[in-house]
Structure 1
Amino acid sequence: MKTCLQLVTCFSLCILSLHSCSRQQDLPGPLSSSPVVTEAAGSLRTVFWDGDASRGAAAVWKVQNIEGQGTITAVHDGVNGKIWRFDKPVGSHRTEGHGAKGYQAAEGSDIYIGWRSKLVMSVNEVTNALFQWKAYGGDMQQNFPIVIKTTGGQLRLFHFAPGKIGTELWSVPVAADVWQSYVLRIKVSRDASVGFIEFWYNGQAQSLKTGGQRYYARTLDADYCDPKWGVYGADASAITNYVDRLRIGSTYADAAP
């Protein structure tokens, strides 16, 4: 009798133990004290500088570089809201906005510069620059490492090496009175084996005349380089350059207009 009672007690304890184990397996483990952030690849973005005209000239430009009677104004566009208007009248040499106030690229920076532009001018106009990646300070060897300009009815992208030796990287026929979009990726470096340029036009990555979609080159000169937009050259002509959605960011998605 005692033996039977012991067997029943042992069996009951086993059942209770199994039930307890089953319940413990249903309980969640301890929660981590650190939150888990899940993001799609490439979705984490940073805008270093926003040159939107709605912010006003004082917040966007380091200097308004005007030689002659030109003007830089924020005007209202019926579709795009406030945009920048660079007017260079006949007899004026340049009307350029020197950015990017509040941001400075340095050796090793990997940046994307994006904007939209609409040119009001003859498609055969010869300009010195509509965009510059311009050097400032001492020991200047390149002056303007990257330039977008018009010559011979073509919109052209150049890199200038020390000694102002130019290499044409890309060109398309000039399109007047039409919005076009641009994104430049610049790996900023004085070392020509480290620095490089990539370029998107109207949302499409461009193959360069030097081969491939990346051009290795010295992209940092003097003390520092800054972007400039507007109109430089073509003194005998009146030119207006509308520019919108200026940004500098850490990814293409940050900068793409």
Structure 2
Amino acid sequence: MTACLRLAALVLLSVPALASAKVIWKGDFETGNTSQWTRSQSVANSRLQVVTDVVREGRYALKATVRHGDDPIGASGNRNELLFISEEKPGSTYFYKWSTMFPSNYPISDGWQVFTQWHQEGCCGSPPLEFFVRGDTIHMRVGGADGPIPWTTPLARGTWHDFVLQVKWSSNPKVGFVQLWHNGKLVLPKKMGATQFGSEKNYMKLGLYRQDTIRPEASVYHDGFVMATDQADVIPPATPTPAPAPQTPTTETPTTETPTTETPTTETPTTETPTTETPAPQTPTTETPPVITVPTLPGTGTPGAGVVNDDNLANAGAGCSATGSGGTPFLAATALLALTTLLGRRRQLARARASQR
């Protein structure tokens, strides 16, 4: 029983190793240096710097710089490159993934400028597979200097170019092929062609190698290099988009609006009955003339008081004479004088009483 458990534990421990065996090699600079690569061809360490300010993934990337006259191996052109001795055998198939960015100030030149290549083990000549810039265009060439260029794209400085390349290595043009994805899209379906020279094995070179007539200094950035045997290790399978749940169409019952019939309001005109004001009969006020009582005057024997009214006064006026019967006006004046005197005395008496209070 114990032996069985130990065997099961060994199997479980070996599973991650088997799963990661599809990735043959990484040159993504996540070590913080260039130790993942076999060696370099450069005139100074400053020409191949591992940097952190411009990266595509992770924390580190490579900045390769070339100045006019940089010739570390005494060959044609100027260069500063890293090498990995991959030694792909004829008939083998691999996937390669990496990203390259040309800064916005990258010089435009009619001369060739190689930034990634698979070089033959032999001495000289153009490699069987290379990516290079000429003018403002990126080219991929297969089969050496006279080989076809099956794919190009605009240089597009200041942005990352993501490459995934599948290669079947063979010197037989009917066996070997290339297939390329650029920025996540398949831009070159399987293209047959010779990817090796005879029996010579290849090795990878990454950096910048350019025609020696180009004078301006130039830099290029590389990041995330992976070599694998399985496409899933360089192109993660796309997560399928879940199908949207079927939606039951909602049937909207049209709302029938019953038109409201407005009954016109008939306004009954108000007939105003004119108010007839019957004037109240006014009873003429008959002013009764004041009755003045005249005391009997002594010596006349005739009651001079009698009743005096307007008619009497009128008659008195009419019969004003010196006869015995014409004493009436005199008596009236005498009576008025007496009345005035009496009223005056009463007023004086009232004032005197008021002052005493």
Q: CA deviation at 1:67?
A: 5.3
1:64 is the counterpart of 2:40: yes
1:75 is the counterpart of 2:18: no
What's 1:108 paired with? 91
What's 1:154 paired with? 137
Q: CA deviation at 1:149?
A: 0.8
**Pair 1:256–1:239, CA change in 2 (3 A):** farther
In 2, the alpha carbon distance for the partners of 1:143 and 1:248 equals 22
SS of the counterpart of 2:112?
A: coil
1:194 is the counterpart of 2:175: yes
Alignment counterpart, residue 23 of structure 2, candidates 37, 44, 47: 47
Ranges in structure 1 where 5+ consecutive residues have no aligned partner: 1-33, 36-42, 208-212
Ranges in structure 2 where 5+ consecutive residues have no aligned partner: 1-7, 12-18, 71-77, 237-357
Q: Could you tell me which amino acid in structure 2 is paired with residue 236 of structure 1?
A: R
Conserved? CA contact 2:118–2:127, under 8 Å: yes
Q: CA deviation at 1:55?
A: 2.5
What's 1:217 paired with? 193
What's 1:122 paired with? 106
Conserved? CA contact 1:70–1:94, under 8 Å: no
Counterparts of residues 1-257 of structure 1 (less than 5 Å): 46-55=22-31, 57=33, 59-66=35-42, 71-77=47-53, 80=57, 81-92=59-70, 93-100=78-85, 103-120=86-103, 121-122=105-106, 124-125=108-109, 126-137=111-122, 143-161=126-144, 164-207=145-188, 213-221=189-197, 223-234=200-211, 235-256=214-235
Conserved? CA contact 1:45–1:251, under 8 Å: no
**Pair 1:54–1:255, CA change in 2 (3 A):** same
Higher strand share: 1
Identity over aligned pairs, percent: 21
What's 2:288 paired with? none
Moved over 4 A (4+): 67-70
What's 1:38 paired with? none
In 2, the alpha carbon distance for the partners of 1:152 and 1:143 equals 19
**Pair 1:99–1:229, CA change in 2 (3 A):** same
**Pair 1:45–1:254, CA change in 2 (3 A):** farther
In 2, the alpha carbon distance for the partners of 1:59 and 1:223 equals 26
Q: Could you tell me which amino acid in structure 1 is paired with residue 60 of structure 2?
A: K
In 1, the alpha carbon distance for the partners of 2:181 and 2:132 equals 16
**Pair 1:237–1:166, CA change in 2 (3 A):** farther
Q: CA deviation at 1:124?
A: 2.5
**Pair 1:68–1:52, CA change in 2 (3 A):** closer
**Pair 1:70–1:143, CA change in 2 (3 A):** farther
Q: CA deviation at 1:196?
A: 0.6
SS of the counterpart of 1:215?
A: strand
In 1, the alpha carbon distance for the partners of 2:223 and 2:201 equals 24
In 1, the alpha carbon distance for the partners of 2:69 and 2:46 equals 10
Q: Which has the higher contact order (CA 8 A, sep 6+)?
A: 1
Higher helix share: 2
In 1, the alpha carbon distance for the partners of 2:42 and 2:235 equals 27
CA RMSD in angstroms, aligned pairs only: 2.8
User: Deviations 1:56-111 (Å, cap 9, x if unpaired)?
Assistant: 555322221225886112111366411111111233311111125xx431111110
Count of equivalent residues: 207
**Pair 1:44–1:91, CA change in 2 (3 A):** closer
In 2, the alpha carbon distance for the partners of 1:109 and 1:95 equals 29
